[in-house]
Amino acid sequence: MKEKLTPQYNDAVKQIKTAILQSQAKALASVNQEQLALYYGIGRYISQNSRSGFWGKDAIETISRQLSSEMPGLRGFSPRNLRNMRMFYEQWKVLDTNLADASAKLGKIENALIPAALADIPVAAFFSIGFSHHVMILSKAKTFKERKYYIQLCADLQLSHEALERTISEDAYHSTFWILLTPNNWDNGKKTSMNES
């Protein structure tokens, strides 16, 4: 049976609940920012060593196996994910002004604090979506404008991985712009119809 609270206690519960939810959201955002910065740094390291020919052909597989051996239970560092980290770095190399520094400044976003390379990127949205979402966007959206659109959309709508995949496969980016660019059915104050000849 639910206990009936006085208005005073109801208000206290609402205030505390709001504080808890805000704190949890902040903690998750902070963890996500740290993870993205980590993966970006690992991607940079892998890119610099594997693309230069410094490492051999099976280096990524070997490193992944060794990480699993030395850190049992560690997840997310399969050869495929290590390659995704490299792609994440290479596709967002423009952020190489130091992603961790940009992440740290996220709480104080002002144009003066955002590195020039980040000026055209929705920074808060970028850091609010998960790595797997970034990988999908990078794999399926080819232009910077498309990527920016899907990052913002994903953050605004809090799309699941499956919803993001569906949205991209339905080509929401181009569909949205088609709707915006299509002239309306009004011409010089007179309604026109597609059936009129």
Share of the chain above pLDDT 70, in %: 75
Output the pLDDT for position 116: 46
Q: What does pLDDT average to over the chain?
A: 79
Q: Are 159 and 191 in contact (CB under 8 A)?
A: no
Give the pLDDT confidence score for residue 12 in this predicted structure: 84
- Do 89 and 44 touch, CB atoms closer than 8 A? yes
The pLDDT value recorded for residue 8 is 81
Rounded mean pLDDT of 52-63? 87
SS3 at position 39:
helix
Contact assessment for residue 127 and residue 35, using Cβ atoms and an 8 Å cutoff: no
Q: Which residue has the tokens 């809090």?
A: 158
- Among the residue ranges 26-35, 74-83, 139-148, the one predicted with the least confidence is 26-35
Return the higher-pLDDT residue of 33 and 138: 138
| Entry pTM | 0.70
- pLDDT at residue 1 is higher than 60: no
Q: 118 pLDDT exceeds 70? A: no
* Residues in the chain, total: 197
